[in-house]
Amino acid sequence: MTEPTTSADIPRSDETLLPSGDATLCAQAFGTPSHPPILLVAGAAASMDWWEDELCERLAAGGRYVVRYDNRDTGRSTSYPPGAPGYSGTDLVTDALAVLDGFGITAAHVAGVSMGGGIAQHLAVLHPQRVAGLTLMSTTPDGPHGPDAPELPPMEPRISAAFTDDAPEPDWSDRAAAVEHLVQSERPFAGSVPYDDDRARTIAGRMYDRTTDIVACQTNHWILEGGEPVRHRLAEITAPTLVMHGTDDPLLPFPHGEALAREIPGARLVALPGVGHQMPPQQLWDLVVDAVLNHTAPPR
């Protein structure tokens, strides 16, 4: 069978609303349902828009069924009052299962970036039957260090300063000001690969337009109560694992990726040259797509 090679050839579902407990999640699929499924899990305060259409299409063109979704408080998924999220980190793990159920997927390859990588680790440890494989991007072992899990380097000082910056927030009702704030807030996390302001502005604008409450989106994930850490159980993971980590990550320096690859049996580490703590920039898509397609290929 010849796989589709252009975006016009890639089937794409409408945005679909799915139940998960007391919440509703917005999700979308690219590709053919009979192909091996990949579930894309976004990072904190990021809607599924950051898994760009073209990136999803390229994965689908490689013969994968690609599903992305909005975490709670992002995009069209259920929103909560700013500062008062009515859910926990454990609920975000359950939400991923609800998305799989909504698309009739028994087990998927789960690809998570940053916070999404933490969700993916919990899925692999707590629900191994639902995880055919893992791709962990720009993330870290979920849990404290110990005798068999050494302490990892802290974030760079410029990132600490960004988190403690008490500059006034924008008028979130002013679309242009809010989008520009989102774009500039991402800049310190970029690596030496040139940061594409225009591309980031397009994605941030789309997220702003789709998100029910942008203030909640930018607030609630940072104050969630998490579930039980799973770092001490990473050795139990049996799903084939690919770790992709930027060599210039200022929030979770490269040794965080090395630790994941060391603590998960058989994991493979792929360095992303010049990439920071960010979604893989377009300049690295050839490397990322090839690695993910090879990693998720059905056994022969």
pLDDT, one tens digit per residue, over 196-224 is 999 999 999 999 999 999 999 999 999 99
Q: Taking the C-alpha atoms of 77, 78, 84 and 90 in order, what is their torsion angle to the nearest 10 degrees?
A: -70
User: What is the sign, positive or negative, of the torsion defined by CA atoms of 46, 149, 268, 295?
Assistant: negative
- Catalytic residue, chosen from 109, 245, 277, 295, is 277
Question: Model pTM?
Answer: 0.95
- Catalytic residue, chosen from 77, 249, 256, 295, is 249
Please provide residue 168's backbone torsions phi and psi, each rounded to the nearest 5 degrees: -65, 145
What is the structure's pLDDT at 173? 97
Q: How many residues does the chain have?
A: 300
Q: What angle do CA 102, 20, 88 make, to 5 degrees?
A: 135
| Contact (CB, 8 A) for 295 and 261 | no
- DSSP-derived 3-state class of residue 144: coil
Within-domain flag for 158: no
- Catalytic residue, chosen from 20, 114, 122, 245, is 114
Q: What percent of the chain has pLDDT over 70?
A: 96
Within-domain flag for 189: no
Q: How large is the average pLDDT for residues 178-185?
A: 96
The pLDDT tens digits for 129-154 are 999 999 999 999 998 876 676 789 99
Within-domain flag for 178: no
Query: Residue 284 is part of a domain; what is its CATH number?
Result: 3.40.50.1820
Torsional class of 295: left (φ above 0), alpha (ψ -120 to 50), beta (otherwise): alpha
The amino acid present at 115, given as its one-letter code, is: M
Within-domain flag for 123: yes
Q: Verify whether residue 249 is a known catalytic residue.
A: yes
Within-domain flag for 200: no
Residue 121 to residue 110: CA distance in whole angstroms = 9
Q: How large is the average pLDDT for residues 276-290?
A: 97
Query: Would the pLDDT of 188 be above 50?
Result: yes
Our measurement of the distance from residue 242's CA atom to the centroid of its chain's CA atoms, rounded to an integer in Å, reads 14
Within-domain flag for 182: no
| Contact (CB, 8 A) for 244 and 291 | yes
Two tokens at 1? 């069978």
Q: How large is the average pLDDT for residues 110-120?
A: 98
pLDDT confidence bin for 7, thresholds 50/70/90: low
Q: Verify whether residue 127 is a known catalytic residue.
A: no
Facing residues of 111 across strands? 40, 135
The pLDDT tens digits for 42-69 are 999 999 999 999 999 999 999 999 999 9
More confident residue, 236 or 160: 236
Residue from 140, 1, 24 nearest 75 by CA: 24
Within-domain flag for 30: yes
Number of domains in the chain: 1
Q: Verify whether residue 34 is a known catalytic residue.
A: no
Within-domain flag for 128: yes
Q: Which domain holds residue 82?
A: 7-144+211-295
Question: Whole-number mean pLDDT of the chain?
Answer: 95
